[in-house]
Structure 1
Amino acid sequence: MNLAKDFIAFVFPKTCVCCSTSLLEQEKSLCLYCRYQLPTTNFHYHNENTAKKVFYGRIPLVNITSLFVFHKKNMTQKLMHQLKYKGKEEISNVLGNWLAEDLKTVTWAKDIQIVIPVPLHRKKLKKRGYNQVAGFGKSISKHLGCDYSDKVLIKDNPSATQVFKNRSSRAEMKHDLFKLQNQNLIANKHILLVDDIITTGTTLETCSQILQQAPNVNISIATMAITL
């Protein structure tokens, strides 16, 4: 069995999704060099942070964090591109594990009871084959010892990608894009809403407002990246 695995690894070597160098056995998706080069934010260690300021006056949040800073042509953009458009689904789990190790050490995350992903419309889900934030959310929930559900928020109508739209264009997003179901799963709970990238925050604002239709919920947000 080991010989077979060694042969497969020799013929089809696993490479870093950022720099394409061969990975060591203990490395997952990212080589150690690229891991240390990625621009982390450490927002989760600070109650007042840049990401939280994006939502001031828009939605009440317990806290919010993003793992990386996203700029056009930086390493984070390449990582997100590999995840969303090149079938590198495993990146989602890697980033979830990365962030979860930090979240386990901060007070505000200790009472999170359920992780909810921002959903994809069924047509986009079928085309891509996976929700790029599912592995991220599942890994976080596993480390925090809480529930995960993709049966609460659903995307009922398709929309074009929001990544490069400005604030005014994204503000046109209607609440009827998303719907709430199975309210009993989140009632009276601290929810962690997860997504890939914060740009203007319109998608997360809309989803948070819909989650607030359930009674007595508190909401925190975690994303893979934020544009600054």
Structure 2
Amino acid sequence: MSLWTDLRDFFFPRLCVACGNRLLSGEEGVCLRCASSLPYTHLYNKVGNEMEQCFWGRFPIERASSLFYYAKGGTVARILYAMKYDGQRKLCVKMGEWIGSELLPTGFFDGIDCLLPVPLFRTRERKRGYNQSELLARGIAEKTGLPVCRNAIYRLRNNATQTHKSGYARWLNVQELFCATADAASLAGKHILLVDDVLTTGATLVACADALSAIGDIRISIVTLAWTK
């Protein structure tokens, strides 16, 4: 470790986003203690897993996986909060790299042509300064070499937050929320992977898939950092 890094960490200590303790050298965003206790789903590349079943009958999904289970107030919830609201850009990329490292050996990314992060509405992204799902996709790309497609769909409106809505209200909230662009035509015949931070009811991801439904012979899979089972 350099003298500058030592001084920086002394005066401006890096803290774990999950527990608030000081990060040690080599730790990034989440300390090893918190990382070791994260609730893995172990879905990996299991065909017909429970997360995949969430989308059966909604659109023809190829595969689906998520790295961690989400629980309100838990470690994963604190990580997601930091990613969205604390300006933790590096943490978003780090979590994407984590997804890539865990799923790559399982064959989950085999046959995928590109990563498509769920877009934010332009004013919300401008206010936040970034789209956490896009940074997740960048992290996955670092480990897989897959390209990130940013311009195939866009969000039509800044819909109200989903946090306190019921399942039915979430579905109403995302009706016709996304629209395909002219660039989306280039995805014909390709297998795309939709990337988002957390899966709850699946309403937002289904809305993304609906926006792409007119593209010929497109195949869609899904990956998220967390899943509210």
Q: Answer yes or no: same fold by TM over 0.5.
A: yes
What residue is the counterpart of 2:195 in the other structure?
194
* C-alpha distance in 2 between matches for 1:177 and 1:14: 38
* C-alpha distance in 2 between matches for 1:198 and 1:2: 40
Moved over 3 A (4+): 173-176
- Structure 2 counterpart SS, 1:55: coil
Q: Which amino acid counterpart does residue 99 of structure 1 have in structure 2?
A: I
Cα shift readout 1:100-127 (whole Å, capped 9, x = no counterpart): 0122112342111100011000111111
Do the aligned residues in 1 keep the contact of 2:177 with 2:207 (CA within 8 Å)?
Answer: no
1:82 Cα deviation (Å)? Answer: 1.2
Q: Which amino acid counterpart does residue 208 of structure 1 have in structure 2?
A: A
1:130 Cα deviation (Å)? Answer: 0.9
1:2 Cα deviation (Å)? Answer: 3.0
1:185 Cα deviation (Å)? Answer: 3.3
Question: Where do residues 16-165 of structure 1 align in structure 2 (5 Å cutoff)?
Answer: 16-165=16-165
1:175 Cα deviation (Å)? Answer: 4.4
1:179 Cα deviation (Å)? Answer: 1.0
1:174 Cα deviation (Å)? Answer: 4.9
* C-alpha distance in 2 between matches for 1:185 and 1:32: 42
- Structure 2 counterpart SS, 1:82: helix
Question: Where do residues 196-211 of structure 1 align in structure 2 (5 Å cutoff)?
Answer: 196-211=197-212
RMSD: 1.6
What residue is the counterpart of 1:218 in the other structure?
219
* Count of residue correspondences: 228
Cα shift readout 1:59-87 (whole Å, capped 9, x = no counterpart): 11111011111111111111111111122
- Structure 1 counterpart SS, 2:24: coil
Q: Which amino acid counterpart does residue 153 of structure 1 have in structure 2?
A: I
Q: State yes or no: 1:173 paired with 2:173.
A: yes
* C-alpha distance in 2 between matches for 1:174 and 1:197: 15
* C-alpha distance in 1 between matches for 2:163 and 2:53: 19
Q: Which amino acid counterpart does residue 29 of structure 1 have in structure 2?
A: G
Structure 1 portions without partners, runs of 5+: none
- Structure 1 counterpart SS, 2:44: helix
* C-alpha distance in 2 between matches for 1:57 and 1:74: 31
- Indicate how the Cα distance of structure 1 residues 46 and 157 shifts in structure 2: closer, same or farther if over 3 A, else same: same
**Residue range with higher mean Cα deviation, 151-160 or 163-172:** 163-172
Structure 2 portions without partners, runs of 5+: none
Do the aligned residues in 1 keep the contact of 2:174 with 2:203 (CA within 8 Å)?
Answer: no
Cα shift readout 1:134-183 (whole Å, capped 9, x = no counterpart): 11111112322211021111112110111331121112135432111102
- Indicate how the Cα distance of structure 1 residues 93 and 75 shifts in structure 2: closer, same or farther if over 3 A, else same: same
* C-alpha distance in 1 between matches for 2:70 and 2:50: 13
- Structure 2 counterpart SS, 1:162: coil
TM-score normalized with structure 2 length? 0.94
Q: Which amino acid counterpart does residue 42 of structure 1 have in structure 2?
A: H
- Indicate how the Cα distance of structure 1 residues 41 and 129 shifts in structure 2: closer, same or farther if over 3 A, else same: same
1:184 Cα deviation (Å)? Answer: 3.5
